[in-house]
């Protein structure tokens, strides 16, 4: 048997269905010209909301557990955000802001996933360390390597009494593999002997015909280094070293020693 209570004539009704043991609320939708069920309470279990809209400032729905260990939670709208709050512990657990992001205010632990601890499982030495990583997943330059290319051999008694290139040694082609992960480079030069004048030891791009970097040495400064602009190490170009007397001195000589191009790599 079905019992009906009309709360507003032709607009709102409460209905009790004895066979189904349900109480429900229906509302006449004049636009759709149909009755719409809005709220159902099943006496055999919990009530079921088919549709519910709360219209007010900061509307709130509460969930208060009366069982042992139960807590009191609320779900509210506030300024365009949805906030799930733990009233018992006095903390916002979750905020959903359509204009920004979902914020988990504290990490789940017992029976859930701790966001702090989860990453520790997957790092090196963790219980479930990741394998097969791509180098782009590593911290920038966390792996650094140093290599070098040596140019030339020892040449004794080269004349420095006139200007010009007195000795050229070694050459190598800059490859894509040589440039891969290259982060910096240093040109290291030394003259074991120079009696006068100035010798510019040049890292030279023979393909482009340009000096990449240069170090000038005299009898007072026989050893030095220079930073290399790695953008000038062009893939496919041939580079080598020249000993160029830029300031001559009568009777002066120098000894050319091997030089090094130090290559510093960072895997990232």
Domain-ending residue, one of 110, 131, 152: 131
Q: Are residues 88 and 197 both part of a single domain? A: no
Residues 28 and 2 in one domain: yes
Angle, vertex CA 140, rays to CA 147 and CA 238, nearest 5: 35
Q: Model confidence over 48-64: pLDDT tens digits?
A: 666 667 777 888 888 88
Domain boundary among 71, 96, 131: 131
Cβ of 248: how many Cβ atoms within 10 Å?
16
Strands 182-194 and 223-228, by their bridges, are antiparallel
pLDDT of residue 110: 45
The pLDDT of residue 125 is: 74
Query: What's the pLDDT score for residue 80?
Result: 86
User: Same structural domain for residues 41 and 66?
Assistant: no
Higher pLDDT, 124 or 187: 187
- Is the domain of 159 the same as that of 237? yes
Q: For residue 138, is it within any domain?
A: no
Q: What is the pLDDT confidence band of residue 142, given thresholds at 50, 70 and 90? A: confident
pLDDT tens-digit readout, 218-232: 999 888 999 999 999
Cβ–Cβ contacts within 10 Å for residue 48, how many?
12
* 76 and 36 part of one domain: no
In a domain, 137, yes or no: no
What mean pLDDT, rounded, does the chain reach?
84
Residues 88 and 183 in one domain: no
Position 245 in a domain: yes
The number of distinct structural domains making up the chain is 3
Query: Among 5-9, 171-175, 248-252, where is mean pLDDT lowest?
Result: 5-9
Check whether residue 162 and residue 252 sit in a common domain. yes
Residue 193's pLDDT band (cuts 50, 70, 90)? very high
My answer on whether 114 and 148 are in the same domain is no
* 73 pLDDT higher than 70: yes
> Which residue segment(s) compose the domain that 3 sits in?
1-52
Residues 9 and 96 in one domain: no
Yes or no: say if 205 and 140 are a contact pair by the CB < 8 Å rule: no
What's the pLDDT band for 186 if we cut at 50, 70, 90?
very high
- CA 193/CA 157 separation, integer angstroms: 9
Q: Give the model's pLDDT for residue 27.
A: 83
With H, G, I as helix, E, B as strand and everything else as coil, classify residue 129. Answer: coil
Residue 183 has pLDDT above 90, yes or no: yes
Residue range 99-104: mean pLDDT, rounded: 65
More confident residue, 56 or 194: 194
């Amino acid at each position: 048997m079905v019992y009906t209570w009309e709360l507003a004539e032709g607009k709102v009704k409460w209905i009790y269905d004895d066979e189904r043991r349900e109480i429900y609320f229906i509302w006449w939708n004049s636009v759709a010209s149909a009755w719409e069920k809005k709220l159902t309470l099943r006496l055999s279990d919990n009530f079921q909301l088919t549709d519910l809209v709360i219209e007010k400032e900061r509307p709130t729905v509460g969930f208060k557990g009366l069982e042992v260990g139960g807590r009191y939670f609320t779900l509210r709208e506030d300024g365009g955000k949805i906030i799930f709050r733990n009233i018992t512990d006095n903390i916002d657990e979750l905020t959903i802001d359509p204009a920004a992001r979902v914020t988990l205010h504290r990490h789940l632990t017992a029976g859930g996933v701790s966001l702090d601890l989860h990453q520790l499982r997957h790092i090196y030495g963790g219980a479930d360390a990741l394998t097969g990583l791509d180098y782009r997943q590593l911290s920038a330059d966390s792996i650094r390597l140093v290599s070098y290319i040596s140019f030339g051999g020892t040449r004794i008694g080269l004349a420095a009494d006139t200007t010009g290139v007195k000795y050229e040694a070694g050459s190598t082609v800059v490859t894509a593999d040589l440039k891969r992960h290259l982060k910096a480079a240093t040109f290291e030069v030394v003259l074991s002997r120079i009696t006068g004048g100035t010798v510019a030891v040049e890292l030279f791009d023979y393909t482009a015909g340009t000096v990449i970097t240069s170090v000038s040495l005299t009898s007072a400064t026989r050893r030095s280094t220079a930073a290399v602009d790695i953008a000038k190490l062009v893939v496919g170009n041939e580079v080598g070293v020249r000993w160029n007397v830029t300031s001559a001195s009568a009777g002066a000589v120098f000894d050319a020693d091997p030089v090094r191009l130090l290559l510093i790599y960072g895997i990232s």
